[in-house]
Amino acid sequence: MDDLKNIKKLSAFEFSSMLLDVAAKNKENKEVLNAGRGNPNWINTSARRAFFRLSKFAMKESESTFMKPQIAGYINSENIYSRFLEFLKEDKEEDIFLKKVVNYCIKNFNMDKDELISEFTNGCLGNNYPVPSRILKNTEKICFEFLRKNILFNEDTVGNTKLFATEGASAAMCYIFKTLKINGFLKKGDKIAINTPIFSPYFQIPHLHDYEIVEVDLDSKEENNWELTNDQLEILKDSSIKMLFMVNPSNPGARALKDNELNALKSLVENFRKDLIILSDDVYATFVDNFKSIYGVLPYNTILVYSYSKIFGTTGVRLGVVGINEHNILDDILKNYTSNKKSILKKRYSLISLNPDSLSFIDRLSADSRDVALSHTSGLSTPQQILMALFSLVSICDKKNSYIEECKKIVRKRYNNLYKGLGIKGYDGEENSKYYTILDIYKISEALYGKDFSEKLKQKADTTDFLYYLASQKGTVLIDAVGFKASPGTLRVSQANLPSESYIEIGKNILDMINSYKEEFENEK
Ligand SMILES: *Cc1c(COP(=O)(O)O)cnc(C)c1O
């Protein structure tokens, strides 16, 4: 019991690793099922195959300039496209893919063919610092098209968007917080609204900075289907709230904002809060049909963050982007700073710009990521950028978007199996990404056995007890959703990481747990 007390002090991620040890020795000797991890257990093959093939071509090109054994020179860009076509074989899967996507780019984006192949091959070799450091030229166009197609839902209304390629969405978050702070967007005592429950770094990072940020939790509720309600929007009218952090679709709630919520947010911003800065993390967007980003409706106010980690199974590669509109609130606020405030920042950015006052926020982001002084070495490694372009092209060049559709089917099947095991109905609304599930054990207990039972359960057992029971008795490892600021008694199941059939088992194990509490209470009588 002492153990359990100490356990209750651990963070969500530490706690789940401890649970794994307990699960390995579970009493019923069941297979360990760890559904705590958000890391997908599948990968995209086509872009990876293409990358290795492209790298082979890059080696061939470089080695044609051999100087000595083991030492080769730079590739020659002249006519490199035609040599690339000669290199490709008719019957090789990755060669067919490469030919298709390269020709798509040349035709649809008007890219120069030798320049594109040079960017790809040089990028694979990685023998130059990334230039431009924010993101490579053609890679930016390709990644934007991926976002436009999947995240903005083919809306052309947003105008020009600039991207900054980062080491995953995690690095994007760190960079954004840092640049916001340095540039005076967040000051001591400022408020930020957070649409909780949320991926915990969003409320942890602001507190790590040595100024007092006041956090306003919007506290979405399952009974409202995790929606942004009018009451929550009302809170945002308070002009001391400087920023709004959204994960959309949410983690752990797994819901995307619907049209009515997007419209309500849009009208709130336009009528009351033109000054609100929104950060939207759309990492799970590609798991929702007809997804629409906040960025698509409020491009001026919104910083977009996206990661390739989840859909393409690339958490080890580290691939993410920040998107900011060419017309954006951050640059306008910077422009209107007093000359005193400007002069402090001028000093910082004059290291890299002749006109530091007009350096855009996104360029500051890129420079700050290497503390300005090293900004000439900033930017995502070029092999990573080429991989990101190739992953994007998997979706862009396929009208049916079949890779992404298949990934959706994977998590949906697992979600349905979980509920099958639980013996209750899941939520099938289009906005449910089904990547995660929040299970409220008290609510499920009430639905199964009535209010008296669930009330008694509330007094006897909390989230930690449930997690401990499931691990030690059944070998099932889940995560505490309370750590994401969800309500007591909630657990997060990730549909990312286990075979489909395992989810039936997990559902049954949870049901067994509730039944065993029921038996226990009956025996007490
Ligand atoms: C997984 C996750 C991330 C991390 O993305 P990386 O690109 O792997 O760093 C960011 N935000 C949310 C909401 C996530 O769930």
Distance from Cα 290 to the centre of ligand 1, integer Å: 21
Residue in the structure block whose two tokens are 């959706």: 408
- Report which ligand 1 atom has the smallest distance to the Cα of 173: 10
Confidence grade of residue 285 (pLDDT, cut at 50, 70, 90): very high
Report d(CA 327, CA 208) in Å as an integer: 30
pLDDT digits 0-9 by tens, 94-144: 999 999 999 999 999 999 999 999 999 999 999 999 999 999 999 999 999
Residue 4 pLDDT greater than 80, yes or no: no
Coil, strand, or helix at residue 131? coil
Give the pLDDT mean for 253-279: 95
Nearest to 480 by CA among 415, 513, 436: 436
Q: Hey, whose CA ends up nearest to atom 10 of ligand 1? A: 169
Coil, strand, or helix at residue 80? helix
Confidence grade of residue 1 (pLDDT, cut at 50, 70, 90): very low
Residue 199: the pLDDT is: 86
Whole-number percent of the chain with pLDDT over 70? 97
Residue pair 196/179 in contact by the 8 Å Cβ criterion: no
Secondary structure element (H or E) that encloses residue 368, with its range: helix 361-368
- Look up residue 209 and give its DSSP letter: S
Coil, strand, or helix at residue 306? strand
Residue 210: the pLDDT is: 60
Q: How many residues does the chain have?
A: 525
As a whole number, the mean pLDDT across the chain is 93
pLDDT digits 0-9 by tens, 421-440: 999 999 999 999 999 999 99
Residue 45 β-bridge partners: none
pLDDT digits 0-9 by tens, 136-148: 999 999 999 999 9
Other C-beta atoms lying within 10 Å of the C-beta of residue 339: 8
Report d(CA 483, CA 492) in Å as an integer: 10
Residue 156: the pLDDT is: 67
Write down the number of H helices and E strands in the chain: 22, 12
Q: Which domains does the chain have, with CATH numbers?
A: 2-38+402-524 (3.90.1150.10), 46-125 (1.10.20.110), 139-396 (3.40.640.10)
Distance from Cα 307 to the centre of ligand 1, integer Å: 6
The DSSP bridge pattern shows strands 302-307 and 320-325 to be: antiparallel
Nearest to 35 by CA among 22, 51, 46, 19: 19
Residue pair 321/163 in contact by the 8 Å Cβ criterion: yes
Distance from Cα 520 to the centre of ligand 1, integer Å: 40
The model's pTM: 0.95
Residue 415 β-bridge partners: none
Task: Find out whether the peptide bond into 132 is cis, omega within 30 degrees of 0.
Answer: yes
Residue in 37, 164, 170 to alter for ligand 1 test, most ligand atoms within 8 A of Cβ? 170
Which residues form ligand 1's pocket by a CB distance below 6 Å?
38, 168-170, 199, 247, 251, 281, 283, 307, 309, 315, 320
Nearest to 518 by CA among 421, 419, 464, 445: 445
Distance from Cα 306 to the centre of ligand 1, integer Å: 8
Cα–chain-centroid distance for residue 174? 13
Residue in the structure block whose two tokens are 């994960």: 247
DSSP E strands, 170-226: 191-194, 214-217
Q: Hey, whose CA ends up nearest to atom 5 of ligand 1? A: 169
pLDDT digits 0-9 by tens, 434-488: 999 999 999 999 999 999 999 999 999 999 999 999 999 999 999 888 888 899 9
Residue 477: the pLDDT is: 95
pLDDT digits 0-9 by tens, 206-261: 777 666 678 888 888 888 888 888 999 999 999 999 999 999 999 888 999 999 99
Residue in the structure block whose two tokens are 């086509």: 46
